[in-house]
C-alpha cells in the first residue's frame, strides 16, 4: 500500500502543508472579495494575522484597490502573481514559506573570541563607497 507524501515526510511537514492550504483558502477569500469589489471585506481580511504572510507590495496593492473607486479598471496583478506562486508551491508539495530564512554562520572556532574588537591596519582603511579599485589602476 502506497503512503502519501505527507505521511512519509512526518507530522511537521503535514502541519506546514496544512498551513499552506489554509493560507491558500485565505487568498481565495481575498480574491472573491476583490471580484465582488467588497472593500470592507478586503480591509477586514487584511487585518487578520494571516495577512502578515503577504509581501509588503501585495498588501499595499490590496489596500490601494480597497480604497479605489468601484469603477477603477486596475487589476490586482501583484496579488494574482503571488497567489499563483503559492498555488505552484502547494502543487509541488512544499510548505508555507517562512518570513525569515535561517542564516548560516561560521563555526565559533573560526571567529575571534567573543567581545574582541577587530581593528584594521591603516592601509586597510577605505571609504564606505569604496569600489575596490585604486585611483592609479
CA gyration radius for the chain? 24
Query: What is the block-wise mean pLDDT of the chain (137 residues), using blocks of 10 residues?
Result: 47 62 95 93 94 92 92 92 93 73 59 62 60 53
What secondary structure letter does DSSP report for 98? P
List the domain boundaries for the chain: 5-91
CB atoms within 10 A of CB 87: 14
Residue 2: what pLDDT? 46
Q: What is the largest CA-CA distance in the chain?
A: 72
Here the cell at position 40 is 470592507
pLDDT for 132 equals 55
Separation of alpha carbons 53 and 41, rounded Å: 18
Asked if 32 contacts 25 with a C-beta cutoff of 8 angstroms, the reply is no
Distance separating alpha carbons of residues 46 and 120, to the nearest angstrom:
49
Specify the pLDDT at position 19: 86
Amino acid at each position: 500500500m502506497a503512503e502519501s507524501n505527507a505521511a512519509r515526510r512526518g507530522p511537521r511537514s503535514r502541519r506546514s502543508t496544512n498551513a499552506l492550504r489554509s493560507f491558500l483558502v485565505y487568498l481565495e477569500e481575498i480574491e472573491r472579495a476583490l471580484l465582488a469589489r467588497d472593500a470592507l471585506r478586503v480591509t477586514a481580511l487584511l487585518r487578520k494575522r494571516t495577512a502578515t504572510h503577504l509581501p509588503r507590495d501585495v498588501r499595499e496593492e490590496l489596500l490601494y484597490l480597497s480604497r479605489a473607486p468601484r469603477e477603477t479598471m486596475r487589476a490586482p496583478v501583484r496579488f494574482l502573481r503571488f497567489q499563483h506562486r503559492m498555488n505552484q508551491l502547494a502543487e509541488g508539495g512544499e510548505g508555507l514559506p517562512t518570513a525569515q530564512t535561517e542564516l548560516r554562520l561560521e563555526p565559533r572556532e573560526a571567529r575571534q573570541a567573543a567581545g574582541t574588537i577587530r581593528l584594521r591596519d591603516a592601509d586597510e582603511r577605505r571609504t564606505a563607497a569604496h569600489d575596490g579599485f585604486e585611483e592609479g589602476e
